[in-house]
Structures are given as structure tokens and as C-alpha cells.
Amino acid sequence: MNSRETLQRTETMLLNLGPSHPSTHGVLRVLLELDGELILRADPDIGYLHRGIEKMCEYRTYHRCMPLMNRLDYLAGEVNLFGFCLAMEKLLGIEVPKRAQYVRVMLAELTRIASHLFWLGTHGHDLGAMTPLFYAFREREKIMDLCEMVSGARMFPLYFRIGGLAADLPEGFIQAAWDFVKTFPEKHKDYHALLTKNQIWIERTKGVGVMSPEEVLDWGWSGPMARGSGVNWDLRRDNPYSSYEEFDFVVPLGKNGDTYDRYLVRMEEMLQANRIVRQALEKLADTEPGDIKAKDPRVSLPKKDAVYNDIAGLINHFKIIQEGIVPPKGEVYQCIEAPKGEMGFYIVSDGTPQPFRLKIRGPSFINLSAMDKLARGRLLADAIALIGTMDIVLADVDR
């Protein structure tokens, strides 16, 4: 190599973005190959939060799997549980009372708002706007309070049960939920005021991470990520579960499939979720309090009266507690519209109280897999915007 060639030789730089970095939303590590600030290759390296939940579930009864489900997408704990319970109910072939269905819908939608609020705050912060985070947390805090009212826990509420709910709504919950529902649309205007028309925000997000509808299907994107590209698909509407068909809501769609459109879609989804909560509260008024568990002896504990005075009741109680819930042999796939996309549970049962195989389809995992495709040829700052718009939760990616 002569001296001139030595002088002209250029080298790319490998940058280790993460696993501890301010904007990797957990423990994501992205190996970036950079030419200056231009990204030549982005290789997400995941697994830092892999806890082997799928494996652990194979050694637990179905009931004891449930606390693990909360730890998937921990920003929407209730929603994961929702999906798992629905899958179990499908496997068992049981119908949940209407009241329980409405309560589930209500809490799932509240959690959707909370999850989107968290996304709004962190996404804004990733792009340098630090104030939306605090405004978003103001409302999220109220939703956390509601979760705490029903279950005693804020991040990991264990309120749903296979076949219904753990208990009926506590006193004062309906009022508190109404307070939230009525005030939220006003507060929602604050978020729009902070970012939506800001020229810098528009410049940073428009045209970044563009996906065409065909690419969205090819890459398996779901939820707001798919709808941002104009894919008209919402599991709540197209494959309704838990009485979603009774609710009236609009599925917002984007046009360009870029970060800005996904931002608008999620913003509108919050308002629509708020509408669903409002309808659920109205519908709840017509249901009978206390009717929250399916009348199926395989999943519901008998009344205390029957346990103490009746041998059949005692045996039933004993079997559920000691042995657990025993579904029939078979396999089901049930998915729900989680805040981040399609959250699916594939349960293979061999007729024992433990799942033979439990596969969790986490939306964050799939959304993140398109990172390399989107980041190539963009600038370093865009990679941060992409991580933000994907709305990943590493606990959901790594499971």
C-alpha cells in the first residue's frame, strides 16, 4: 500500500448503542456500523432481559403462570393478562359473564392510554423535548391509581383471572374512573399543543422510518405500527373478543407510514380508548354487581357454604387449589390488540395442569426486527427516533 492509499483509506466505526444508554428503553443493544453519522448497518442485539418465561410456564400450573404474564409488556400489565386469560378461556371453552367482559375492556383500554402516554413521554424525550414526559405522567399516574384500586398493585396488577375477575370493582372505582374519563380529553389537548404543530418535531419525524402497507405485512407489523402505514386492521374490530363488537370506536389510520403518522395514530387512539372506557362504564351500570366469574366448576371456586357443608363442593375446592386448572388436550392461539400491536398466546395443552408449550408472540419483538431495514442509510439521530416510534418494551422483546 503506498502512502497515498494509506491517506485515503477510510474506516467505518462500530458504535455500541446500549445496553446501558439513555434512550434504548431498557436494555436494548444496537450495534451500529457508522460512516461518520450515517448508519450502514444496525444489528439489534437483544436478550439482556431474557427470563425464559415460556420455559418457566411449562413447569407451573396455569394459574401460577399469570404473574409472569404481567412481566411481559410491563407498561401494559393488565393487557398481557387479558390475552392469556382469553386464550385459556378459549382452550377451556368457557364464556365469561358480561360484567367481567366490560370490566376487562375498560381496564385494557385504560392501560392502553397509560402505555401510549408512556410512549409519548419517552418518544418526545428521545427527540429532545423533555416536557411532554411530565405532562404524560400526570395522567398516567391517575390510571396507575385506578389499577391500584382494583388490585393493590400499580405496575403489575393481577386482577384478571381465568374465567373472570378476582373480585368485583371496589367502592369508589366507578366514580374515579368517570372523573378520569371526563377530564382526559381536555388534558389530551395539552399533548397536541406541546408537539403536534412544532416545526422541529415535524421535521424530525416526517419521512423517518417509512413503511409501505405491503412492507408492513411482510415484516409482520401490527397495531399502531401497521395502522400508521394505512393498513386498516384492528383486532378489536376485525376479530372481536370480550364483547368489543358492542363498542363504538374509530380505528385511526395514517397515510405515509412514517414516524409522524404513527405519532398521530397513537395520539388519536388514546382518545378512542377513552371513548371505549366511557361506553364500558355506561354498560357496566346495566350489569348485575358480583357477576364476575364464569359458572364453571373447573375454574371457579365453589361458594364457601358449599365447601364447608357439601362433599362435592369440598372436593371441587381442593382440586382447584391443589391441582390447578386442567384444560382438555388441544392447542389454541388467541391474540389481542395490545397497545403495541398483536399480542398472541399459543398454548399447547396435553391435558395436564401445566402447559405443554406456551409461545408468546410479543409485538415489540416483531416490530424491532425491522430495525435494520429502517435504519440503513439514515443518521444516528434517526435510529433514536426509530427506537422511540417502535414503542418497544424490552421485557416484551426478550420475554
Partner 1 sequence: MSKAAELLQEKFPEEVVEVTEFRGETTITVKPGRIVDICKTLRDTPETSFKYLSMVAGLDYLPQSPRFGVVYNLYSHRNHNRVTLKTLLADDNSPAIDSVVPVWSTANWHEREAYDMMGIRFKGHPDLRRILMPADWVGHPQRKDYPLRGK
Partner 2 sequence: MMNQLPILIILTFVKIMLVLVVFLTCIAYTVLMERKVLGFIQLRLGPNRVGPWGLLQPLADAIKLLFKEEFTPPGVNKVLFVLAPIITAVPAFLPLAAIPFASQILPDTLTIYGYKVDLAAAGLNQGVIADINVGLLYVFAMGSLSVYGAVLGGWASNNKYSLLGGLRLSAQMISYEMTLGLSVIGVLMLSGSLSLVKIVEAQKSMWFIFYQPLGFLLFLTAAFAECARTPFDLIECENELVAGYQTEYSSMKYGVFMMGEYGHILVASALATTLFLGGWQGPVLPPIVWFMGKTFALVFFFIWVRGTFPRFRFDQLMKLGWKVMLPLCLVNILFTGVIIQFLQR
Query: Which positions touch partner 1 (CB under 8 A)?
Result: 46-47, 50, 52, 54-56, 59, 90-91, 93, 217-221, 231, 233, 238-239, 330-333, 335, 342, 344, 346, 348, 357, 359, 361, 365-366, 368-370, 373, 398-399
Please report the DSSP string for 293-334 in residue order.
B---TTTSPPPHHHHHH-HHHHHHHHHHHHT---PPSEEEEE
Q: Which residues ranging from 36 to 75 are in contact with partner 2 (CB under 8 A)?
A: 36-37
CA distance 86 to 83: 5
Q: What letter represents residue 382's amino acid?
A: D
- CB 332: neighbour CB atoms within 10 A? 18
Toward partner 2, which CB reaches closer, 203 or 245?
203
Helix H or strand E segment including 14: strand 13-17
Closer to partner 1 by CB, 113 or 347: give it. 347
- In the list partner 2, partner 1, none, the entry touching 40 (Cβ below 5 to 8 angstroms by class) is none
Say how many CA atoms lie within 13 Å of 115 toward its Cβ: 29
Type of residue at 288: E
- Does the footprint of partner 2 cover residue 21 (CB under 8 A)? yes
Contact, 81 vs 70, CB < 8 A? yes
Element (H, E) at 120: helix 98-126
- SS3 assignment, position 41: strand
Residue 156 interface partner, choices partner 1, partner 2, none, CB cut-off 5-8 Å depending on type: none
Q: Does 295 bind partner 2 (CB under 8 A)?
A: no
Residue 203: CA count within 13 A, CB half-sphere: 4
**Shortest Å distance, C-beta 63 to partner 2:** 41
- Contact yes or no for 258/130 (Cβ under 8 A): no
Minimal distance, residue 258 CB to partner 2, in Å: 14
Q: Binding to partner 2 by residue 201, rule CB under 8 A? A: yes
- Least Å distance, CB 346 to partner 2, is 36
Q: Which of the ranges 59-67, 90-98, 153-161, 380-388 carries the binding residues for partner 2, by CB under 8 A?
A: 380-388
How far apart (Å, rounded) are the C-alpha atoms in residues 175 and 195?
A: 31
89 binding partner 2? (CB under 8 A): no
Among partner 2, partner 1, none, partner that 50 touches (CB below 5 to 8 angstroms by kind): partner 1
Sequence-distant (6+) residues with CB within 8 A of 365 are: 46, 396, 397, 399
List the single partner that 381 binds among partner 1, partner 2, none, CB under 5 to 8 Å by kind.
Answer: partner 2
Least distance to partner 1, CB of residue 215, Å: 8
Nearer to partner 1, 184 or 233 (CB): 233
With 0-12 / 13-18 / 19 or more C-beta atoms within 10 angstroms meaning exposed / middle / buried, residue 16 is exposed
Q: Does 195 interact with partner 2 (rule: CB under 8 A)?
A: yes
Instruction: Report the alpha-carbon distance of residue 254 to residue 247 in Å, rounded.
Output: 22
Choices 160-168, 190-198, 223-231, 349-357; region in contact with partner 2 by CB under 8 A: 190-198
CB-nearer residue toward partner 1: 57 or 150: 57
CB of 372 to partner 2, least distance (A): 19
Residues lying near partner 2 in the complex (CB under 8 A): 13, 15-16, 21-23, 36-37, 124-131, 133-135, 138, 194-195, 198, 200-201, 203-204, 379-382, 384
